[in-house]
Amino acid sequence: MELKELQLSHFRNYDQVKLDFQSGVNIFLGQNAQGKTNLLESIYVLALARSHRSNNDQDLIEWGQSKAKISGRVQNRLGTTPISLQFSRKGKQARVNHLDQSRLSSYIGQLNVILFAPEDLELVKGAPSVRRRFIDMEFGQMNVSYLSQVSQYRKVLKERNTYLKQIQAKKSSDMVFLDVLTEQLIQFGTQVIRARQHFIQKLGEIAQPIHAEISNQSEELSLIYQSNVPLVNVIEEVAAIEANFTQALQRQAKREIIQGTTLVGPHRDNFKILINQNDVSLYGSQGQQRTAALALKLAEIDLMQEETGEYPVLLLDDVLSELDASRQTHLLMAIQNKVQTFITTPTLSEVTRQLIEQPKIFEIKAGQVQVKESGHLY
């Protein structure tokens, strides 16, 4: 899968811009606060209909404008597809092949991307919510059914929490309605847990040899999915998850009413990243944490290809400066001639100059883009 063309209208600090990309490596070169990350962000937004930098879509619209639009042309094994997103105060409108999409779940997956940014260290050492969001964003691109299940689960969870608060405040007392919401929560939550187990198991299997290679065979990485629904096996059967989920909710029924919130379910789950059986978030050095994050991102590339039949587009947002020469080398050698890649960087390191073959370079200054011809960097 490749992004062949990108067109922006009133996005961030770009008034109007249209760019064509090559299959290999595309580099956005520029100093800080010139717009190179905004350009990379636009590709991410085009793929996932949301930004990784802001929860407010209005932040994406150029100052003084009422709407912004991102358009792209995506090429995969089936052909070329135009896609677009428009943002305004009324919301966002997604189109595929110039046809409006009533649901974002039918839009997401047209362009699959993997983003690797300095803040991805939080994936290793951050809160469980960071890792849950990682699963939902990445696996959601690979599996439309999972995206739908998560959406339905969140909707029921919100309704159930609202009703628990009403019972807590003695404004409602219909326990039959609570039972209906509980049954729906178990139904959708069971599917979410089982899908996440599958994702983490497969990601760990692919990441393990990658991590071993980066660490010169000195360390072993493993991933463990942690659910507050008691689980015995790595991949549980649906019936077993449902039974355990039901029992766990029954045990917490009184506490949920007292606290006015749902205490059991995948919205509280996590996964551990272990190196040599030790939790890297607690006991790993910064170097080990960086290596683990890099291994997971590289593993995603192969997992996405395995799940969808297409390699994703890789977005590297100023990560080369965060990696030492050895990790830079592993990263660049892993992606060379494999996936279309977009790199933002203020300068080109010696490793980059030696390892990247004929990149296309876009020099960015104050929201203006100047394209250099493809060629060696030295």
Annotated binding site: 30-37
Phi and psi at residue 231, to the nearest 5°: -125, 145
CA dist list (Å): 63 to 10, 17, 66, 67, 138: 8, 16, 9, 10, 31
Question: CB–CB of 3/72 below 8 Å?
Answer: yes
Question: CB–CB of 62/32 below 8 Å?
Answer: no
Round to whole Å and give the CA distance between 11 and 65: 9
Binding-site residues for ATP = 30-37
Question: CB–CB of 73/26 below 8 Å?
Answer: no
Round to whole Å and give the CA distance between 48 and 84: 11
Q: Token pair for residue 4?
A: 């062949």
Q: Please give the torsion angle defined by the CA atoms of residues 252, 258, 259 and 260, in that order, rounded to the nearest 10 degrees.
A: 100
Q: Token pair for residue 220?
A: 């072993």
Residue 50, Cα to own-chain centre: how many angstroms?
10
